Structure 1
Amino acid sequence: MEQTITPPLEWVQTICDQFTEITGWPLRFTPAKPGERKSLEAELCQSEKYCWYESIEDGNRCLGYLYLSLPEETANDHLFVTAIKFAELVGSLVSRIETMSSSLETKNKEVSTLVDVGLSVTKQEALQDSLQKLLEAALQLTGFRAAGFFLLNSESNQLSLRVQYCLTAFEIPFHRRKLSESPPDLEAFAKEGMIINRQDTPELAHWLPQGCLTGICVSVQSDSGPFGTLWAFDRRARHLNERDIHVLKSIGAQVSTILERAVLIKESQNQLRLKKELKVISESFPAEFAEESTQDREFQIAVQSISHHEVGGDLCEFISLGPHVTCFALGDASGDSIPAAVVMASVRGALRTLTEGPIEQAKDTRFVIGRINTALYHTSLPHQFMSMMYGVIDTQNRTFTYTNAGHPAPFWVHKGKITSLTSHGMLLGVTESNEYDYSVIPICTNDIVVGFSDGISEAMSSERKMFRSDGIMNVLKNHTEDTAEEVMLGIWTKLQKHLEGGNDGDDRTLMVLKFARCTEQ
């Protein structure tokens, strides 16, 4: 018999030579080429030259045969039983070594493939390409012939085929399916995986592509929730083991990783876009009041306003209506951040529109507040509203007219005495039409009006105490002779000291008016 020794098994022939030298019984090994196993085994069985043979396996296939020939010297015949037992031991050891070597080679190949895939999909490649590589790796590691990934839409609870390998989308049945109507996918989410065999489970065979006898489905999910299911198909009838499921679960974990990364990248892009847009919006609503040229105005203004977020709902607006007449609005929209800013912007726009009309109309504080209330009621959601004080300063007639719609009552310092101004009605936007009143107070030189949002009065210290209106009054008592800027800074400094280590979770606006001619800068 012609012997052909393949390089990976040369060490077996060396063992055979050593066995022959020690025992005197010729031990040989012949590899089994594909398709030659039956003929080789038949020759070993029928020929009288061979007194024993045994196949060498690696756990998956037959590698060849070990066989004993009769010794040339009859003196060794008495070792027949010993030689056979020794040969059986050698054959068993060789098969075990080859099985371990094959297993190690397979594991190394799997690890190498997974590492290569992991390195490739972590690069900034298109999502579709990354998923394609993962499906290709799944087939390499498991021996399946085709694969597909179904993405789960959590809102519609529907699975959609997003990427496939070695099959077209139309060859895979139900490429759009409701999760609740797909038993294999539901089973995959509930357990390690779902195996479908066309012969063993004919009731599920319609979930397999035409011509495929075996299919397996595993879930793809992460700590943040399910992403979908991974399917693999084969035209052969296969009996799958835990390794196949483990490999597909590993590939599924890689799929969830790149999907999470894609979601994070998308979220990061959205956050960057939102941040840019908020910056543009915030520039339209400056945090600090920008004074116009006021050298001939007979009152001083000092405003400090901060938003807890990029944009907020506090409003402080001054508009000149004509010589000696200026109106202003001080308000606070419900909520915070963008929702509050939208409400505030609506009110600001309505205010600008109304004050550009006839001056007598703009000077009617009840009319302006009433119109803004109706506009806000029709343009905002039921839970959105705004407190607001609208006032008109007439330095020629020395009057201050105002209507307060649910805003914290400002303080009025008149001839050294501190009092609270009146409130005239409920918040803006709560009901379609409200009856608002107004008040008119005389203004004298050195009179002061201090307005603020509830972010000032309700500012919480580390000891859970609010700043309240007392905090403002305590400062006012000692600053009645100061400029508007000095009064504002005195109150703000006191507020910041109160807040040390405390809560800073609200928009805050502080406005100080002093009826005294502005000094030249």
Structure 2
Amino acid sequence: MEQVLTQPLQWIHSICDQFSEITGWPLRFTPAKPGERKSLEAELCQSEKYCWYESIEDGNRILGYVYLTLPDESANDHLFVTAIKFAELVGGLISRIETMNSSLESKTREVTTLVDVGLSATRQEGLQDALQKLLEAALQLTGFRAAGFFLLNSESNQLSLRVQYRLTAFEIPFHRRKLDESPPDLEAFAKEALIINRQENPELSRWLPEGCLTGVCVSVQSESGPFGTLWAFDRRARHLKDRDIHILKSIGAQVSTILERAVLMRESQNQLRLKKELKVISESFPAELERESHRERDFQAAVQTISHHEVGGDLCEFVTLAPHITCFALGDASGDSIPAAVVMASVRGALRTLTEGPIEQAKDTRFVIGRINTALYYTSLPHQFMSMLYGVIDTKNRTFTYTNAGHPAPFWVHKGKITSLTSHGMLLGVTETNDYDYSVIPICTNDIIVGFSDGISEAMSSERKMFRSDGIMKVLENHIEDTAEEVMQGIWSKLQKHLEGGNDGDDRTLMVVKFARNAD
């Protein structure tokens, strides 16, 4: 059915008036009103008063007719052929201008509609509603009868129909399909769009719903990867224009944007949840030594530890076994963040269990290290392990007993002399059983033990130089007479100066024990 012409056509009348004034031949324009086109064309063709006529079109329909009548002055009759050629030129120019105007208006309406639909879709509360809105817009703009969107699961490489419009899920063939078994979807990802005509492509007709003669498959993807395919179906055998494919691609781009936004929102929610859970976990790991509980002990202790992530794999824990006996564990799990924290938590749990048992077993550093090694071997993955220094301080007998399982060797300051203590075996969790040794050293008043993780010794400066154990020793040489807290702060300050502008990508733990009572 023809629509009422609403665009202004007065400019055509003005062109006709100028033509008549210049040539002397009357050129007129009559719009083609709905239902009057055939009768108007018949009158122009049969009446003797009109010597020439031509239709004016905008590329889609006839807008009206321009026509010539004989001039009042017979002297101009000899210009008949020239006037008609001139009129044909003017009529052709008018049609071309109207065609360009119509195309521009159409594209403007399409862009406006796409923008409005995109804004409307983003305001939808549910993802399903937003996708439904876009499919509806695709049909309105292209004239297709039905549409559907298939979501790609990248892990299973399977496409699943997630939303459809004007067809049920079971009316669309293969609503669950493997990507590598679906040539139309594969080709759409390769070429961005595929047109299927039941008559011209009988081998692909099984991908069209029953009764549909035409189908279009458009890929939906973003820079991060493919999301799926958008399908449009029609019962007619259509010869599609570039405009239709362009519109479907535009709708596909908006589908991609909405899905990407949904993925980002979900990731953001997951990150927020994970951050809260990590905070709870990190609060269960002692970040600093509880100094108040050591006021009555015959030694000072200071600890500084930081994690590169929310949680880390460094362990430093003191446990009182008896009034004059305290044990401590200093360890570093392989990896970082959550995997390292899981290993560290396993070791920490085993340590707590063993130190709450018989005191003679807890004082046996070889026994404790051996049991933790076996437990970690059976509870961790092959690539997960941990270094650990386990020591027992006996201030009554004035001894320090320890076993070192692959941890950086601590320093012992004894009577003003700095010594690196012996290591006794491989990392925890590497083999099921391992024969660890132990060492016993005498302790005197003002002796110092400094333990650290490799995040301290391997800290990298901006000049790609490591802090090394030498950096710790140089500070110790100038702080032998200081308290444990002062020694720890001196080493930590030197470390921070070394790190200025350098790499700060590891967990770091520093522990200082001085065999002298805390000052009141």
Query: Does TM, scored on the shorter chain, surpass 0.5?
Result: yes
Give a deviation string over 1:465-495, Cα, whole Å, max 9, x none: 2222222222222222221112212222222
Matches within 5 A, 1:177-196: 177-196=177-196
Go from structure 1 to structure 2 and tell me whether the alpha carbon gap of 1:151 and 1:447 turns closer, same or farther (over 3 Å shift). same
Secondary structure of the equivalent of 1:477?
Answer: helix
Return the letter of the residue paired with 2:419: T
Matches of 2:77 and 2:474, distance apart in 1: 120
Secondary structure of the equivalent of 2:149?
Answer: strand
State the superposition RMSD in angstroms. Answer: 2.5
Quick check: 1:382 aligned with 2:382? yes
Decide whether the 8 Å contact of 2:334 with 2:386 is kept in 1: yes
Q: Which residue is 2:446 aligned to?
A: 446
Q: Which residue is 1:29 aligned to?
A: 30
Q: Which residue is 2:169 aligned to?
A: 169
Structure 1 residue 431: Cα displacement: 0.7
Choose 16-25 or 204-213, whichever is displaced more. 16-25
Give a deviation string over 1:328-361, Cα, whole Å, max 9, x none: 1010101111111110011001111111111112
Quick check: 1:225 aligned with 2:225? yes
Matches of 2:344 and 2:143, distance apart in 1: 63
Secondary structure of the equivalent of 1:397?
Answer: coil
Choose 414-423 or 507-516, whichever is displaced more. 414-423
Matches of 2:73 and 2:476, distance apart in 1: 125
Matches of 1:428 and 1:399, distance apart in 2: 25
Matches of 1:210 and 1:46, distance apart in 2: 50
Return the letter of the residue paired with 1:246: H
Matches within 5 A, 1:455-470: 455-470=455-470
Go from structure 1 to structure 2 and tell me whether the alpha carbon gap of 1:411 and 1:198 turns closer, same or farther (over 3 Å shift). same
Structure 1 residue 46: Cα displacement: 4.6
Secondary structure of the equivalent of 2:170?
Answer: coil
Matches of 2:100 and 2:271, distance apart in 1: 52
Go from structure 1 to structure 2 and tell me whether the alpha carbon gap of 1:325 and 1:104 turns closer, same or farther (over 3 Å shift). same
Matches within 5 A, 1:216-255: 216-255=216-255
Go from structure 1 to structure 2 and tell me whether the alpha carbon gap of 1:514 and 1:7 turns closer, same or farther (over 3 Å shift). closer
Give a deviation string over 1:233-292, Cα, whole Å, max 9, x none: 222222122222222222222222222222222222111111111111111113222224
* Unaligned runs of at least 5 residues, structure 1: none
Choose 344-353 or 387-396, whichever is displaced more. 387-396
Decide whether the 8 Å contact of 2:343 with 2:386 is kept in 1: yes
Matches of 1:167 and 1:71, distance apart in 2: 62
Secondary structure of the equivalent of 2:293?
Answer: coil
State TM-score, norm by structure 1: 0.92
| Number of equivalences | 516
Structure 1 residue 38: Cα displacement: 5.1
Go from structure 1 to structure 2 and tell me whether the alpha carbon gap of 1:414 and 1:44 turns closer, same or farther (over 3 Å shift). same
Structure 1 residue 50: Cα displacement: 4.4
Matches of 1:460 and 1:453, distance apart in 2: 14
Go from structure 1 to structure 2 and tell me whether the alpha carbon gap of 1:199 and 1:77 turns closer, same or farther (over 3 Å shift). same
Matches of 2:207 and 2:76, distance apart in 1: 65
Secondary structure of the equivalent of 1:311?
Answer: coil
Secondary structure of the equivalent of 1:347?
Answer: helix
Decide whether the 8 Å contact of 2:27 with 2:66 is kept in 1: no
Q: Which residue is 1:364 aligned to?
A: 364
Structure 1 residue 140: Cα displacement: 2.8
Q: Which residue is 2:396 aligned to?
A: 396
Structure 1 residue 305: Cα displacement: 0.9
Structure 1 residue 79: Cα displacement: 5.3
Structure 1 residue 89: Cα displacement: 3.2
Choose 137-146 or 507-516, whichever is displaced more. 137-146
Q: Which residue is 1:337 aligned to?
A: 337
Structure 1 residue 10: Cα displacement: 5.1
Secondary structure of the equivalent of 2:370?
Answer: helix
Go from structure 1 to structure 2 and tell me whether the alpha carbon gap of 1:514 and 1:374 turns closer, same or farther (over 3 Å shift). same
Structure 1 residue 165: Cα displacement: 2.3
Structure 1 residue 28: Cα displacement: 5.0
Q: Which residue is 1:328 aligned to?
A: 328
Matches within 5 A, 1:1-400: 8-9=8-9, 11-12=11-12, 23=24, 25=26, 27-31=28-32, 33=34, 37=37, 41-42=41-42, 44-46=44-46, 48=48, 50-68=50-68, 80-123=80-123, 125-400=125-400
Matches of 1:17 and 1:504, distance apart in 2: 83
Decide whether the 8 Å contact of 2:24 with 2:71 is kept in 1: no
Give a deviation string over 1:304-328, Cα, whole Å, max 9, x none: 1111111111100001112211111
Decide whether the 8 Å contact of 1:462 with 1:499 is kept in 2: yes
Matches of 2:329 and 2:116, distance apart in 1: 64
Q: Which residue is 1:490 aligned to?
A: 490
Matches of 2:505 and 2:103, distance apart in 1: 61
Return the letter of the residue paired with 1:59: G
Matches of 1:6 and 1:327, distance apart in 2: 93
Secondary structure of the equivalent of 1:465?
Answer: coil
